[in-house]
Amino acid sequence: MDEFAALCGISRPTISKYFNDPNSVRPSTRGRIEAALKEYDYRPNIYAMNQNRRLTKNIGIVVPYLADPFFAEIARVIERRCIDAGFTPTLFSSHGEPGQEIEILDTLRLLRPAGVLLAPLGRASDRKHIEAFCRDVPTILFDSNIEGVGAAFVGSDNFSFVSQTVEYLSRTGSAPCFFEMRDPANPNANKRRHAYLEMMRRLNLEPHLIKIDGTGWGFEEIGRTGALKVLKQDLLPTDTVLCSNDRLAIGVLSACHELGIRVGREEGCTIRIASHDDHPYSRFTCPSLTTAAHDYEAVSDHAVETLFRLIEAGGRLETREETLFAARLIMRASA
Amino acid sequence: MDEFAALCGISRPTISKYFNDPNSVRPSTRGRIEAALKEYDYRPNIYAMNQNRRLTKNIGIVVPYLADPFFAEIARVIERRCIDAGFTPTLFSSHGEPGQEIEILDTLRLLRPAGVLLAPLGRASDRKHIEAFCRDVPTILFDSNIEGVGAAFVGSDNFSFVSQTVEYLSRTGSAPCFFEMRDPANPNANKRRHAYLEMMRRLNLEPHLIKIDGTGWGFEEIGRTGALKVLKQDLLPTDTVLCSNDRLAIGVLSACHELGIRVGREEGCTIRIASHDDHPYSRFTCPSLTTAAHDYEAVSDHAVETLFRLIEAGGRLETREETLFAARLIMRASA
DNA sequence: ATATATTTTTGACGCGCGTAAATAAAAGGC
DNA sequence: GCCTTTTATTTACGCGCGTCAAAAATATAT
């Protein structure tokens, strides 16, 4: 920066000022700087800038598992929003490991981020550690909530998801059973089960929970194995299956195909399958998957906007906001 | 660090030395530091460390499109390897945009990475810019090659992929036509087309290329739309389709299902579909997808190991190495 | 105990930048 | 042209650490 300042014949502090806000210097000065900029392609070192700045332009984005296209997609949208707003996002994935999540938060502190958008692992998360982090760094939780932690939570309204699918399925055919992992790591899964039970109660229908075994993030395989077992033993209490999430449903569809069971609402189909999330691939499954869609855009936008508000407010909001977006039922071929 | 040094009653340079290599200090000193470490959970600021270090422990990982599970998966494996080797990887996605790729490389310089693992966008990449980057930063290209750029390239042998699928398909049924995008962004796609043509020549079979329109990274949708058009107009020259990659194939499968065309090698199926990549979802498609698998592990491991060698060698290798790993044919239900 | 080798400490400088206060220069108004 | 306001410069310090050279302390060998 010293060299560059010399090259444009302007003092370094003025250059520094320019990079913090191009409009804070006189137009003539700005012109000279920008002319020199074209010639000598200099750019300030953002990591050195962050060392002394009162407030950096860094934003941390943390997702639990990036190899899940759902998170990959939401991360992509959020990243873009941050860049467009003049921030420098850095993306981290916990890769499903609580240890990694802790490590990431510890590293993130050193970046001195203006704010963080955190989608926690869920039940596996170290609550105390995340709490401590949120006390020091302005943080918005998204996707999965941890009660009372972070300045705000932005996510989807699980009841809205399940109520729509249950209502639709039971209106157009037999009432659904609920297909889920026995021990789901994600708190949304529990909320969805409760929503299912509540909806069935309201509709005066008998609920059936099918809990399958399996751990980790390989949901498709877990769903497939679980479905094979259930289907082979003919344990399905109804011909309509509502899966907790699309990735499980993808596995169930695969199992059905393997067993020659035709899925859908067409003539000749013996089972209907629906699910939740509107996973990027759910429109390409065979048959395409009837599901309840997240309002990706709304969740991303609102999470980012809330973070910006939080940053501008100096890192504190008056009350902890919880914003939930309703789902949109997507009727496709599977149910 | 000053404070922490005072707390353990040891000088700051010694602490600094400890963090660079715990074994470089006397065991008794090390013991005292580690005891204090437990008590006062201090950790050095990696971004400040990187400012003066001769060689940082940073590694940059750049992929073209993280919402593609193929890259998400490979990034996950590579990240893990780097962490295990004591490095600090930072992951970036170009999100399919050449501008982003340039931006990422420019930002990456500032991190002063010891090395970079770069999977370029391909044809859309700004070759000059990447070349300039590689001159300054030790870089290994992976997945898609840019001739002569970077210290080495690690990828898969496209001929091995296509030769195996073509051989298998033509041996077990009618010879395949080749289904691809008209204007693929990825150089591997071109290599695969050439491999297809060459294999058909060797087997003395007539080649058929089916080129479909579409741009961007939404390959499934492109494949689906293209296949719908081709199938509806009955333009398929043979009952066996070899897709350039699995994501296109997922779209083709979806189109077939939509049109009631049964896919597979079983009785009653009218079309066979095979593909390349062994995408994480290809085992869950309906029917499951016959494909040629990347040796993910080998590519990841070798890329990382080559980078470590490059770093230890001071950033230069004697000659530019190109390592290609053979594919493994995965026979599933679709062909 | 002495000499030698090893480790640690001290002190000082640098990385690339932000920031604050005092001073100097330029712009605008009359 | 002079005065006031705005903007730019100078100077100096700080961030959290690496690194180097010289001096001091400690360990090892004899």
CA distance B42 to chain A (A): 11
- Let me know: does A49 contact A71? Beta carbons within 8 Å: no
Are A165 and A274 spatial neighbours (Cβ–Cβ below 8 Å)? yes
B247 inside 8 A of chain A by CB: no
Identify whether B98 is preceded by a cis peptide bond (ω within 30 of 0). no
Same domain, B128 and B207: no
Q: Is A186 within a domain? A: yes
pLDDT given for residue B8 in this prediction:
83
Residue B150, amino acid? G
d(CA B274, CA B164): 11
CATH code, domain with A208: 3.40.50.2300
The pLDDT value recorded for residue B253 is 97
Report if residue B308 sits inside a domain. Answer: yes
Q: Look up residue B246 and give its amino acid.
A: D
- What is residue B57's predicted lDDT score, i.e. its pLDDT? 86
pLDDT at position A130: 96
Whether the CB-CB separation of B105 and B127 falls below 8 Å is answered with no
Residue A268: left if φ>0, alpha if ψ -120 to 50, beta else—which one? Answer: left
Q: What is the pLDDT of residue B49?
A: 86
Examine the domain organization and report whether A272 and A252 are in the same domain.
Answer: yes
Q: Which nucleotides of C are covered by protein (CB under 7 A)?
A: 7-12, 14-21, 27
Q: What is the CB-side half-sphere exposure of residue A37 using CA atoms within 13 A?
A: 12
Is residue A256, in this structure, part of any structural domain at all?
Answer: yes
Query: Which range of residues forms the domain containing residue A199?
Result: 158-293
Do A281 and A229 belong to one domain? yes
Q: Report pLDDT for B88.
A: 87
A52 touches strand C (CB under 7 A): yes
| Residue A286 Cα distances to A261, B71, B185, angstroms | 12, 24, 28
Residues B172 and B277 in one domain: yes
A85 touches chain B (CB under 8 A): no
Task: Convert the pLDDT of each residue in B51-102 to its tens digit.
Answer: 888 788 889 999 999 988 889 989 999 999 998 888 889 999 999 999 999 9
Residues A289 and A165 in one domain: yes
**Do A243 and A196 form a contact (C-beta atoms < 8 A)?**
no
The verdict on residue B143 lying in a domain is: yes
Residue type for A227, please? Answer: A
What does each of the 335 residues of chain A score in pLDDT, given as a tens digit?
888 888 888 888 888 888 888 888 888 888 888 888 888 878 888 888 888 888 888 999 999 999 888 899 899 999 999 988 888 899 999 999 999 999 999 989 888 899 999 999 999 999 999 999 999 999 999 999 999 999 999 999 999 999 999 999 999 999 999 999 999 988 999 999 999 999 999 999 999 999 999 999 999 999 999 999 999 999 899 999 999 999 999 999 999 999 999 999 988 999 999 999 999 999 999 999 999 999 999 999 999 999 999 998 888 888 999 999 999 999 999 99
Q: Enumerate the residues of chain B whose CB falls inside 8 A of the CB of residue A50.
A: 47
Is B256 found in the same domain as B208? yes
Which nucleotide, over all strands, has the C1' atom closest to the CA of A110? Answer: D16
Q: Are residues B301 and B266 in the same domain?
A: no
Residues 21-50 on B with a CB inside 8 Å of A are: 43, 45-48, 50
pLDDT at B98: 94
For the segment 8-27 of chain B, residues whose CB is within 7 A of strand C: 9-14, 17, 24-26
CB contact under 8 A, A281 and B220: yes
Distance from CA of A257 to the nearest CA of B (A): 6
Q: Which of A43, A67, A286 has its CB closest to that of B253? A: A286
pLDDT-flagged residues of chain B (< 70): none
Query: Least CA distance to A75: which residue of chain B?
Result: B67
Please check whether residue A265 touches B, CB under 8 A: no
Contact between A284 and B66 using a beta-carbon 8 Å cutoff: no
DSSP per position, B201-214: HHTT----EEEE--
* A282-A287-A291-A297 Cα dihedral, nearest 10 degrees: 30
Residue B87 CA to residue A270 CA, distance in Å, equals 53
Q: Are residues B203 and B272 in the same domain?
A: yes
Note whether residue A335 is domain-resident. Answer: no
Q: Which B residues, 116 through 135, put their C-beta within 8 Å of a C-beta on chain A?
A: none
Of all nucleotides, the one whose C1′ comes closest to residue A55's CA is C18
A331 found inside a domain: no
The answer to whether the C-beta of B28 is closer than 7 A to strand C is yes
Question: Which pLDDT score is estimated for A158?
Answer: 97
Residue A242 has a pLDDT of 98
Question: Chain B interface, mutation test: which of A47, A70, A104, most B Cβ atoms within 10 Å?
Answer: A47
Q: Which of B163, B241, B239, B172 is nearest to B201 (CA)?
A: B163
Instruction: Provide the domain count of chain B.
Output: 3
Beta strands B177-181 and B240-243, pairing class: parallel
Question: Do both B284 and B173 map to the same domain?
Answer: yes
Residues B174 and B282 in one domain: yes
Amino acid residing at A229: K
Residues A164 and A287 reside in one and the same domain:
yes
Could you tell me if B186 and B244 lie in one domain? yes
- B305 found inside a domain: yes
Give domain status of residue A30, yes or no. Answer: yes
